[in-house]
């Protein structure tokens, strides 16, 4: 009986993560329209993976999504500096870990979804991702590995904003989406158990 329950739980976690990955992949086809479409959706899926399937599954999604983004719609900066992909993975992992250790405890166990604490934890989680990516990608990787003669140097301020402030903002928007959909989604997930 316990073995069946474990298998059912694992199957549910895999299914949730697969659905969230599919949503991420579909959103990545819209990447060229606006990062403010794709980014919040991917961040929402990372948050949902941690909240509904667990940290491990959030980390798995965090690692896979930059690879699918590169395959589907690689930006010129990703092509010029492929080392950006592992740092994006790590930025996503930072978000997943922050959600697990800061945000999740603020809303589980009967605590209200909308509270000062949950909002602060969401902002801190988004800021951690933005700061990590800002420090590693915007301030170190891009200035170090984009050659001075490259035409990409002219767009350096845009890239630096994209991999710092934009990451923070899109993670925040992902949390806003989470606050909107979590209550009905949690009810639907608990009915299946």
3-state secondary structure the chain: CHHHHHHHHHHHHHHHHHHHHHHHHHHHCCCCCCHHHHHHHHHHHHHHHHHHCCHHHHHHHHHHHHHHHHHHHCCHHHHHCCCHHHHHHHHHHHHHHHHHHHHHHHHCCCCCCCCHHHHHHHHHHHHHHHHHHHHHHHHHHHHHHCCCCCHHHHHHHHHHHHCCHHHHHHHHHHHHHHHHHHHHHHHHHHHCC
Flag whether pLDDT at 104 surpasses 60: yes
State phi, psi for 30 to the nearest 5 degrees. -95, 5
pLDDT exceeds cutoff 60 at 193:
no
In angstroms, the CA 15 to CA 118 distance is: 27
- Tell me the mean pLDDT in the region 12-36: 91
CA 44/CA 179 separation, integer angstroms: 10
Over residues 176-186, mean pLDDT: 93
> Token pair for residue 139?
């301030």
Contact 8, 192 (CB under 8 A): no
pLDDT value at residue 186: 85
6 token code pair: 């474990």
pTM of the model: 0.92
Judge residue 103's burial from the number of C-beta atoms within 10 Å of its C-beta, 0-12 exposed, 13-18 middle, 19 or more buried.
Answer: buried
pLDDT over threshold 60, residue 161 = yes
CA atoms within 13 A on the CB side of 153: 9
Domains of the chain: 2-191 (1.10.1760)
Q: Token pair for residue 132?
A: 């990590």
The three-point CA angle 99-104-108 to 5° equals 170
* pLDDT attached to residue 79: 86
């Amino acid at each position: 009986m316990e073995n069946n329950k474990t298998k059912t739980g694992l199957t549910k976690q895999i299914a949730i993560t697969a659905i969230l990955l599919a949503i991420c992949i579909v959103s990545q086809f819209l990447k060229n329209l606006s990062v403010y479409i794709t980014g919040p959706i991917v961040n929402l899926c990372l948050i949902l993976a941690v909240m509904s399937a667990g940290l491990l599954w959030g980390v798995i999604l965090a690692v896979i999504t930059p690879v699918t983004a590169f395959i589907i719609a690689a930006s010129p900066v990703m092509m010029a500096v492929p080392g950006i992909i592992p740092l994006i993975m790590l930025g996503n992992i930072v978000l997943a870990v922050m959600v697990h250790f800061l945000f999740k405890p603020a809303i589980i166990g009967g605590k209200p979804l909308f509270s000062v604490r949950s909002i602060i934890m969401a902002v801190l989680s988004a800021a951690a991702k933005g700061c990590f990516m800002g420090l590693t990608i915007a301030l170190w990787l891009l200035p170090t590995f984009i050659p001075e003669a490259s035409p990409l140097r002219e767009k350096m301020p845009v890239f630096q904003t994209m991999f710092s402030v934009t990451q923070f903002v899109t993670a925040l928007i992902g949390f806003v989406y989470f606050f909107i959909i979590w209550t009905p989604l949690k009810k639907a997930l608990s009915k299946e158990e």
